[in-house]
Amino acid sequence: MSTVPRIVGTRLLQAVPLLIATVVVNFAIIHLAPGDPVTMMVGEGAVSADQMEALRESLGLNNPLHIQFLDYLTSVLQGDLGTSYVYHQPVSEIIASRIPATLLLMGSTYLLSTFLGLLFGIVAALRPSSLQDRVLMTIAILGYSVPTFWLGFIALMIFAVELGWLPISGMVESGLEPGSWEYWKSVLHHLVLPVAVLSLFYTGLIARLMRTSMLNSLRGDFIVTARAMGLSNWRIVLRHAVPNAITPIVTVLGLQIGLMLSGAVLTETVFGWPGLGVLTVQAVAQRDYPLLLGMFLLTSVMVIIANVLTDLVYLAINPRLRSNG
């Protein structure tokens, strides 16, 4: 098993060029971005040309490109992503303050949709072409075909506006003491609709995927062996078919974490959920480039980390990889 550290090392090393490429792309985008950063920062005609020049000099914008890149790289490595044009705060701080909300939304959705998706996929695959299979798979296709933002918005109209069962917007009622029982209850109340809507989408995707994988697994020769050895159907499904069906799709399941950011942006916008998605949409509307690029960088890093973590999980659950390298 001495190959494990080597594989882990290789995976981590492979992530480095990707990270560097991301930073380069990010730097390039800063320079491609329309408009003059200094003008953007202080506003059109707010200061004199001399002051602008001084500011430019102090920001290092007059240095040669490669010096600027090194400066940029240094500051990124130090966690300095610049200052928001709009909030006049460090980008890293603004982003950090929004992470918990998005993490809560995406985390709940991820757990729920993975659980339900795997379950539905298994149930459908156990009786292919049966009624239960067809019903589940039609729902699954509906789930990932109906636009989440529209569904969210219809759900809001029904459950929040018409029926008044659930809150319309936000993450928590104002005025509650953070950390108190009431506070968390309110958070949970606010979480129901966005998680339900976003989960429908991912549950559909995962259920389709799991069904296909499960059908393959059930066709496996080791299932014939298990049957011929007189194991019970439950045992065959749970101990043999399911693990062998999940293993090949772990990669995809892991990568959903990164992909969910797209869904989070729309869902957060519809439900006024104060996370990274709403922040990004606002930054787009206000052309707050430092904040946008900070988000871009953060997302790229997140995707890369999700890639590496997924590889490692795959390695952990698949004995074949561990010793073959």
* Given 269, 271, 273, 290, the residue binding another protein (CB under 8 A): 269
Phi then psi for residue 207, to 5 deg, are -60, -40
* Given 20, 46, 61, 142, the residue binding another protein (CB under 8 A): 142
Task: Give the count of residues interacting with another protein (CB under 8 A).
Answer: 76
| Closest to another protein by CB, 67 or 317 | 317
- Tell me the window of 46-54, 56-64, 95-103, 253-261 that interacts with another protein (CB under 8 A): 253-261
Residue 14 interacts with another protein (CB under 8 A): yes or no: yes
- The angle subtended at Cα 320 by Cα 319 and Cα 324, nearest 5°, is 120
Residue 299 interacts with another protein (CB under 8 A): yes or no: yes
| Closest to another protein by CB, 14 or 180 | 14
Residue 266 interacts with another protein (CB under 8 A): yes or no: yes
Distance CA(225)–CA(153), nearest Å, equals 50
Report whether 7 contacts 270 (CB < 8 A): no
Residue 219 interacts with another protein (CB under 8 A): yes or no: yes
Instruction: Give the nearest distance from C-beta 154 to another protein in angstroms.
Output: 7
Instruction: Give the nearest distance from C-beta 73 to another protein in angstroms.
Output: 20
Residue 221 interacts with another protein (CB under 8 A): yes or no: yes
Beta bridge partners, 90, equal 83
Distance CA(60)–CA(216), nearest Å, equals 59
Site string for another protein, 164-203 (x = CB under 8 A): ----x-----------------------------------
Structure tokens at 173: 């009622």
Residue 103 interacts with another protein (CB under 8 A): yes or no: no
Distance CA(284)–CA(265), nearest Å, equals 12
Report whether 23 contacts 73 (CB < 8 A): yes
Structure tokens at 215: 């059908």
Distance CA(112)–CA(107), nearest Å, equals 9
